[in-house]
Chains A and B, each alone.
Chain A
Amino acid sequence: MPINETLSTYSDWLYTTAAAIYVVALMMTLIEQGFGAKGRLATERAKLRARELVGAGGPPTEEVQAEQRTSGRPERIGKMGASLLVLGALLQLSAIVLRGLAVHRAPWGNMYEYGMAVTFITVVTWILVMWKFPVRHLTGFLLLPVVILMFINGTLLYTIAAPVQPALQSYWLVIHVSAAIIGSGVFLVPGVASVLYLFRAAYEKDETKYARFASKLPAADVLDRIAYRTTIFAFPVFTFGVLCGAVWAESAWGRFWGWDPKETVAFIAWVVYAAYLHSRATAGWRGARAAAINIVGFAAIIFNLFFVNLVTAGLHSYAGVG
């Protein structure tokens, strides 16, 4: 079936618009992070109260905090930013769907489409995290890598809509790649949370360190919890993706595992995340070391996406980037 150029053009427009909206949301939430002092203090107070309540069997900390963060102009701007984020995500979803309709297949057959879907998953994950934890003012920190990725993706890696080569014409494309997309997309959130954790934990140890920046971050244990919860969601999904990749490789490439560069780096990332989970059960490795391991894991995921696709030549090199 021929490619539907019109739909593919609309998809491109939606993608660009979504990215632009994310930039605005980024700035708005940075304003909240930078100037939302009142709300922050309210949060601190709420947390103290919540601690007392929890001691007496009260409701969990998060809910109380969420209710408190409403006052002040920076908070209102932050809220608008969050609404824009949701709007941007809807536009990006439409971009993905239109691309799929334009090419008559699952819209993740080359690197541009893959990057589009990964960043979408990251944004959705973050929206869910914001819903559970009082971290709206951190949205900017998350959007920064998302916007950078979307920019690189939309310029350097852009590929015109096209059908995929025979090796990719399989239902495994849908299963394996969507698992990889969800896993990688979600992993960005604990990656960012762990970076913030390192600043905050240093600050909590010594209040003169990163005082201006880290004093505005949520408590280290909140960041740690966000990182842990998102990681234990993403890890099994990623594992599933790797296993499906092996099953697919058995029918497409003649062996289920052959240490192709992409397979190797997926293995490395998997082992690093396993180490993260173990480190949380090991005395002396919790906290900062665990956070550092999580960041290394995410670095492996990004390395796999860019370096292995663009620099090395393996069987996975159908990124479609000329």
Chain B
Amino acid sequence: MTTTEAPPKTPQGPTPAKRTFAFIRNTWRGLTSMRTALVLLFLLALAALPGALLPQRKLNAPKVDEYISAHGWWGTLLDKLEFYDVYSSIWFSAIYLLLMISLVGCLTPRSFEYVKAMRAKPVLTPRNLARMPHYRLGRGKSDVAAEIAAVHKHLSGWRRIEREEADGVRTISAERGFLRETGNLVFHFSMLGLIVFFALGKMFGYEGQVIVQADGDSFCNSGIYNYDSFNAGLRVDGTDLDPFCVKVNDFTVRYTPAGEPEYYHANIQYQSGEDLETNTWRPYGLEVNSPLRTAGDRVYLLGQGYSPQFTVTFPDGTQRTQNTQWRTVDPTTMLAEGATKFDQPGVTDEVQRRTRQLAITGLFAPTAFLHGNVLTSSAPELNNPSVAVDIMRGDLGLDAGRGQSVFEIDQSLVDDGRLKKVARENLKVGQEIKLDDGTKVRFDGVNHWVSLQVSHDPTQGFVLGFAIAMFLGLGASLLVKRRRLWVRVKPGTEDEPGTVIEVAGLARTDQAGYGEEFHRISERLISGQKG
């Protein structure tokens, strides 16, 4: 650890090369000093703070947009300064890179010193032991050799060396607590490893979310277009995802009487590796705290919701049934909203088609509660499923090439008059509406959907390993005390036979706590009793 503050003054008129060298050296010294490390630690803490206070794009992008529009120029400025992407911002990365450089600069010399210290013998016994922070003087009854032997026995756990002084005086200097420094180095190196592998994981990992109907619908990790949303690391282009497939057969949820969810369970089947070729499906019970781990990826059960099922019977007798996920608007009552969209089959004329498309939009309530004609839900379970729907007919804009939300219709088409409301009704399961052209829309019932997340992080095992090493190192470096102990045994005089024993101690680290131990040891050494 370099704690040299004032850099040596450069003599008069150094050459530019020398000056550059001195500058580099001083910068390096400054950067690797403990003081700089402290300042950097503070900066890191400070820089992480906005991430907890401001909405973050990674976690909640719509909220960021909302925040920006609510705060005018200030919101935009924060965006320019990367305050909504704190942890990938230039300034945050700069601080932690500097901290890592500082750490490396700090650890390299310390490691050399450590090796040297491990080889070195305990230091000489000082002349005047009474000046040490801990000191004790006593007398022994036997002779010097016996006392010294007893001291060796008492200090068996210590690294020690015996030396002979003039006039038959013998000393032992002992040292203990090297594990502290070992732990300290392990801690810091592991922290370095953890940061590096964390960053690698971010580069080579990905996360994708997808909604799957829990009625036997399946999903395959074969390309990013199978996902509803996909977050990839810098080095992932989505071309070689680990192939596997998942089929969701059912989903069970139980609520407490107060309406809190208490149990989620999805019976799924999956195939990966060779199973893909032989088309073998293996069963798995997916729950919130037990993701499926297969093909190096993990599949999580993240959320759930309802998909009302509708059947449309067109005037020509053709039928279409659809089962589209609606999104939950109130998680406590599971009231949901959405739009189920139909295209009449067999209509080839483009213009005709665009007047006949249908959308069923509105609300779904698992336990319907009607307030007048307004539908709400009074509980999350399927006690009395109902929908309150508007049937829209006309051009849904599905061919416009513009991506549409599955949960909504394009409001601009309604405003244009290209999409018109042709009915509004509340339906229970099995009920149907007849439209003016003879089309019938029936509410068949309801299914569950689940949202799954697939996560891929090739380095998380390493991160865990480093974290454990870091923790163990931390324990050793905080709990082990480095301390020294010296014993000097002098032969007694004629009038006072026996020996004179001096014991002294010095804590190399924090003074705290050595007093009691020293007291105990010196007591034992001087009285020579008690084991």
Q: CB within 8 Å of B: which residues of A?
A: 54-57, 59-61, 162-163, 165-167, 169-170, 172, 225, 228-229, 232, 235-236, 239-240, 243, 246-247, 250-261, 264-265, 267-268, 271-272, 274-275, 277-285, 300, 308, 312, 314
Contact = CB atoms under 8 A, between A and B. Distances in A.
A251 B289 contact: yes
B45 interface: yes
Q: Do most interface residues of chain A lie in helix, strand or loop, or is the interface mixed?
A: helix
A259 B52 CA distance: 8
Interface string B32-57: 00110110011011001101110010
A57 B134 contact: yes
A268 B49 contact: yes
Given A60-B515, A61-B515, A163-B256, A312 B289 contact: no
Given A59-B519, A61-B515, A259-B56, A272 B45 contact: yes
B162 interface: no
Nearest to B522: A57
A284 B215 CA distance: 67
Contacts of B135: 55-57
Contacts of A235: 474, 478
Nearest to B478: A232
13 contacts: A54-B134, A54-B515, A228-B510, A229-B513, A236-B475, A246-B467, A252-B288, A264-B52, A271-B44, A275-B38, A278-B37, A282-B35, A283-B3
Contacts, number: 142
A256 B460 contact: yes
B298 interface: yes
Interface stretch (B109-117, B257-265, B359-367, B489-497): B257-265
A251 B290 contact: yes
B516 interface: yes
A68 B290 CA distance: 58
Contacts of A256: 457, 460, 463-464
A316 to B, nearest CB: 11
Given A236-B475, A268-B49, A285-B38, A255 B455 contact: yes
A257 B198 contact: yes
Interface string B470-494: 0100110011000000000000000
Contact of A255 (B260, B457, B468, B503): B457
Interface in B26-82: 34-35, 37-38, 41-42, 44-45, 48-49, 51-53, 56, 58-59
Contacts of B300: 253-254
A229 B58 CA distance: 39
Interface of B: 1, 3, 5, 34-35, 37-38, 41-42, 44-45, 48-49, 51-53, 56, 58-59, 86-87, 134-137, 198, 207, 256, 258, 260-264, 287-291, 298, 300, 302, 453, 455, 457, 460, 463-464, 467-468, 471, 474-475, 478-479, 503, 510, 512-513, 515-516, 519, 522
A268 B45 contact: yes
Contact of A166 (B198, B287, B474, B479): B287
Nearest to A315: B59
Contact of A259 (B5, B51, B207): B51
Given A236-B475, A259-B56, A308-B52, A60 B516 contact: yes
Contact of A275 (B42, B457, B516, B519): B42
B510 A259 contact: no
A254 B516 CA distance: 48
Given A60-B519, A166-B287, A272-B41, 7 more contacts: A56-B136, A57-B522, A162-B256, A264-B49, A272-B42, A278-B37, A283-B3
A236 B471 CA distance: 7
A163 B262 contact: yes
Contact of A264 (B1, B51, B263, B510): B51
B91 to A, nearest CB: 15
A225 B256 contact: no
Contacts of B38: 275, 278-279, 282, 285
Nearest to A263: B52
Contact of B207 (A162, A254, A268): A254
A239 B469 CA distance: 12
A285 B5 CA distance: 13
A165 B460 contact: no
Contacts of B519: 57, 59-60
A239 B510 contact: no
A60 B288 CA distance: 54
Contact of A165 (B53, B262, B455): B262
Contact of B471 (A240, A250, A253, A257): A240
A27 to B, nearest CB: 32
